[in-house]
Chain A
Amino acid sequence: MPHVVSSFEDLFFTKREGSMIKIESLRIELPGFVLKDVELSIQDGEFFTLLGPTGAGKTLVLESIAGVAPITSGRIWVKGRDITHLPPEQRGIGIVYQDYALFPHLSVLENITYGLRYQKADPQASKKWVRALIEQLGLEPLVRRSVRYLSGGEKQRVSLVRALAVNPSVLLLDEPLSALDPNFREDIRDVLKKLHQEVKITFLMVTHDFADTLFLGQRTAILNRGKIEQVGSVSDVFERPATPFVAEFVGMKNVFPASFEGTKAIVDGLELRLEMPPGDRKSYVAIRSEDIIISKDRISENGMNVVQGKIADIIDRGLFHEVTLKTGKVAFKSMLSKRDLFSLNLSEKKDVYIAIRSSNIHTF
């Protein structure tokens, strides 16, 4: 991809400090759904993701920032300005939808330049900026075309350029990758990452895919049933989930209620040694399935919890096998590749050793 106007920033941005978006006890009541007391603070220039399953209320948070969803109570600040009651056109916030929402009666170029006439900025600078964006996303060959015949990936590029053309202070992305074919998905994901690095605009993306968050996000908030369960850096949430829901959502298949004694966790009678004493008010342990080691021979206990168990179940999940191991009343889930399964010669009801590194046991 050709490198664009070396000085995007010089053209349009002065360094801003502090929080770009601040949401205070946002509440939205709809028939059959309530978004409860959402508190969020998103830093200037950040790539923030709002993560959660379908129906968690993610899009509603996004649309309330854009000003197109009815707010029951709460306040929203952008760049230190209370925008709670501003009409959408005065907020300076861009939005990109999963279904692109391109104007079907306009050409690619007409879509991209749709908002320019409402811009207060110098028209020459705007033109330069838009040309740079078009070049950056490789859209020049398409500008005269009707948007009807573009591929999904092309449509999403047009939608991105259209939103960025008016130089918004925040870009909202509503599941921008969900409707795309797998090959376009990765492409647009790269585009998003690169764009964010270049344009230095705050990106707030809604997604249900933790993989997208890992690749793109700097910080994330996990939303479940209209409530935020955890906010933090992506690695923090990934490694130290705060609730059973988040633990399962980030792929921890083994989440158990536990009691704690010193550096020990007791799960249904099974004692597990921890790396260090857990802090106060912890009541769960969580272990990733890839951190559960299966062995036919007893391995040394150096930093490991090693217990005897039995294979209860093996399910073929396509790319890997999910193996359920029972020891006492506790059932662990582990992942094995086909090759490992074969070389270990595992089958149901076989006795094995289960090893879990103390440092891989998370408490919350």
Chain B
Amino acid sequence: MKDKKRIDPFFWIAIFSTVTVVIFILFPLIEMVVQPSFQDLKETIQDPDVVRSIWLSIYTAGMAGLISFIIGTPFAYLLARKEFPGKKLVESIVDLPIMIPHPVVGIAILGLAGKNHWLGQIMQQVGIHIMGTVTGIVTVLTFVGLPFYINTVKTGFEAIPVRLENVSRSLGASLTKTFFRVTFPLAWRAMLVGIIMCCARAISEFGAVVIVAYHPMIAPVMIYERFTAYGLKYSQPVAVWLIVVCLMLFLLLRIFSLPKEKEA
């Protein structure tokens, strides 16, 4: 008790690790943003190809988020509320896209969509094309983004006491009405965060997209192409613009999803 003020060595270890991690993440990014000249940045954003690719990146990632929201929400609810045999297995299946190497995802999806597969034949007859199309990009982005949406929203649902739903049912509301009157209003923030997570993951995807659709070109593919063709100096400005636009979008959504002061 004598030297009360003596700080435990773990405190210094924690400080050291925090500083290391923050520098490790921020330093390369800041350097990249600072290195291109203002002139380069201005020229780059005036290039219609660049604008188109960034727009395509945001559009396809947004679609992946929307699709995840539609097909992932009921599933996340089921995982949060029900115990069933094989639940652990289903949960691991959801996590699979996180672990599979990205090009493998692209190859797997192309394998289904090709002429040699019955599904691919049906899809082509209906007019759905995966190879080199926006549809193909959205498909792989949904594939890689879905687990992030489902896991986030599942946690959000779990945070809502099941007793609220029990009371709602006892007051006469059906399961569906209970979902829309109680569960959804309490979980929409988690859903928005889930969509952000899913979109963020989708926007950063390169490996899977480059196999399914080199063209039309999403921003990461364009950055890669400019890097291999012209080098660092030409790829950096595109990267900077992608980062800036994405940061702004995510920041906006994030602010929107924060609880208001009053309710906190």
Q: Which residues of A contact B (CB under 8 A)?
A: 63, 66-68, 87-89, 91, 93-95, 97, 99, 101, 103-105, 114-115, 117-119, 146, 148, 162-163, 166, 168
Contact = CB atoms under 8 A, between A and B. Distances in A.
Contact of B169 (A88, A103, A104, A146): A88
Given A101-B161, A119-B172, A163-B167, 5 more contacts: A97-B167, A99-B163, A101-B164, A163-B171, A166-B171
A95 B161 CA distance: 15
Given A115-B171, A148-B263, A166-B172, A88 B166 contact: yes
Nearest to A101: B163
B170 interface: yes
Contact of A95 (B166, B174, B181, B186): B166
B95 to A, nearest CB: 25
B48 interface: no
A97 B174 contact: no
Contacts of B94: none
Given A103-B182, A105-B185, A87 B166 contact: no
Nearest to B166: A68
A103 B175 CA distance: 16
B167 A104 contact: no
B67 interface: no
Nearest to A95: B170
A245 to B, nearest CB: 29
A94 B173 contact: no
A63 B166 contact: yes
A162 B168 CA distance: 10
Given A88-B166, A101-B164, A118 B173 contact: yes
B47 to A, nearest CB: 47
Interface residues of B, number: 18
Interface string B218-254: 0000000000000000000000000000000000000
Interface string B157-197: 00001011011111111110000011001100000000000
A163 B166 CA distance: 12
Contact of B170 (A91, A119, A146, A148): A91
Nearest to A91: B170
Interface of B: 161, 163-164, 166-175, 181-182, 185-186, 263
A198 B47 CA distance: 78
B166 A89 contact: no
Majority-rule SS of B interface residues: helix
Nearest to A159: B167
Contacts of A162: 167, 171
Nearest to B185: A105
B172 A67 contact: no
Contacts of B169: 67-68, 87-89
A339 to B, nearest CB: 43
B165 to A, nearest CB: 8
A114 B168 CA distance: 8
Contacts of A87: 169, 174-175
Nearest to B171: A115
A105 B166 contact: no
B263 A66 contact: no
B117 to A, nearest CB: 42
A101 B175 CA distance: 17
A105 B170 contact: no
Contacts of B186: 104-105
A148 B261 CA distance: 13
Contacts of B174: 87, 89
Contact of A88 (B161, B163, B170, B185): B170
Q: Taking each of B163, B170, B186, which has the highest tally of chain A beta carbons within 10 Å of its own beta carbon?
A: B170
A93 B170 contact: yes
Nearest to B188: A105
Contacts of B181: 114
Nearest to A31: B83
A101 B168 CA distance: 10
Contacts of B182: 103
Q: Taking each of A66, A87, A88, which has the highest tally of chain B beta carbons within 10 Å of its own beta carbon?
A: A88
A94 B263 CA distance: 28
B163 A89 contact: no
Contacts of A166: 171-172
Contacts of A67: 169-170
A355 B17 CA distance: 73
A36 to B, nearest CB: 22
Contacts of A88: 166, 169-170
Q: Taking each of A89, A95, A168, which has the highest tally of chain B beta carbons within 10 Å of its own beta carbon?
A: A89
Contacts of B172: 89, 115, 117-119, 166
A103 B167 CA distance: 9
**3 smallest beta-carbon distances between A and B, as pairs:** A115-B171, A118-B172, A88-B169
A114 B171 contact: yes
A218 B91 CA distance: 49
Q: Taking each of B163, B171, B173, B174, which has the highest tally of chain A beta carbons within 10 Å of its own beta carbon?
A: B171
A299 to B, nearest CB: 56
Nearest to B160: A104
Q: Taking each of B161, B163, B186, which has the highest tally of chain A beta carbons within 10 Å of its own beta carbon?
A: B163
Nearest to B83: A31
15 contacts: A63-B166, A68-B166, A68-B170, A87-B175, A97-B163, A101-B161, A103-B168, A103-B182, A114-B173, A114-B181, A115-B171, A118-B173, A119-B172, A166-B171, A168-B170
